């Protein structure tokens, strides 16, 4: 049911299913794009309802895919660092949850010279790696608050949700808005 938003996962199996379902939906949307959707730039500047920075930042599907890939890489690096005893925060050095929009612009700028095809391959690869990392955690590790003190008051499962199924929902919403604009 493509029109219905999935409930937020509450356990490992639901997380795996939500991530894979939304991943497949996103790939299907990408494959079904019309020529107009492929060629027209994403342009939401005159839409007053779309005030968040990402509506102005992302100009095409490549930018969206790179964004997803870069956040996958953040998650993978964070998990690896923490398992190795490192205290590095989730976000890149110099950024926090109030300034992560600036970090997103770093991702945007450094990937402007790659093709949409390369962005898609990077996204597919990083999704696979995130799912492999997810599989190494138990139900308890993923969804017990404070199981890992370095996650703060949250659980690591929330980071996987935010970087997979929820982020894929965001990408599909953006693609649907673009499709609506170009007809």
**How many percent of the chain have pLDDT more than 90?**
76
pLDDT digits (tens, 9 = 90+) for 26-54: 999 999 999 999 999 998 877 778 878 78
148-177 pLDDT, tens digit per residue, is: 888 888 999 999 999 999 999 999 999 999
Burial class from Cβ neighbours inside 10 Å (0-12, 13-18, 19+) for residue 174 reads buried
CATH number at 50-182: 1.20.120.450
Residue 26: CB atoms within 10 Å = 22
Query: For 43, which DSSP code?
Result: -
Spatial contact of 160 and 134, defined as CB atoms under 8 Å apart? yes
CA dihedral for 166, 168, 174, 175, sign (positive or negative): negative
Confidence of residue 143 (pLDDT cuts 50, 70, 90): very high
Domain ranges of the chain: 50-182
Nearest to 175 by CA among 75, 79, 91, 60: 60
Please state, in angstroms and rounded to a whole number, the distance separating the CA atoms of residues 94 and 33: 38
As a whole number, mean pLDDT of residues 19-29 equals 98
What does the block give as tokens for 63?
């930018």
Q: Are 26 and 171 in contact (CB under 8 A)?
A: yes
Look at residue 3 and tell me whether its pLDDT is greater than 80: no
**pTM, two decimal places:** 0.92
Q: Which of 128, 132, 142 is nearest to 12 (CA)?
A: 142
């Amino acid at each position: 049911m493509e029109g219905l938003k999935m409930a937020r996962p509450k356990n490992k199996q639901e997380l795996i299913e939500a991530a894979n379902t939304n991943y497949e939906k996103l790939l299907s949307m990408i494959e079904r794009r019309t020529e107009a959707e492929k060629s027209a730039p994403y342009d939401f500047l005159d839409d007053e309802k779309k005030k968040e920075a990402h509506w102005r930042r992302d100009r095409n599907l490549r930018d969206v895919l790179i964004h997803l890939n870069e956040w996958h890489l953040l998650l993978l690096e964070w998990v690896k660092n923490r398992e190795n005893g490192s205290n590095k925060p989730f976000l890149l050095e110099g950024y926090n949850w109030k300034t992560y929009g600036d970090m997103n612009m770093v991702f945007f700028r450094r990937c402007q010279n790659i093709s949409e095809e390369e962005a898609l391959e990077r996204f597919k690869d990083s999704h696979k790696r995130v799912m492999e990392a997810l599989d190494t955690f138990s139900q308890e590790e993923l969804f017990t608050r404070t199981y890992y003190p370095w996650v703060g008051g949250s659980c690591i499962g929330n980071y996987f949700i935010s970087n997979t199924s929820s982020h894929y929902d965001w990408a599909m919403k953006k693609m649907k808005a673009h499709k609506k604009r170009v007809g």
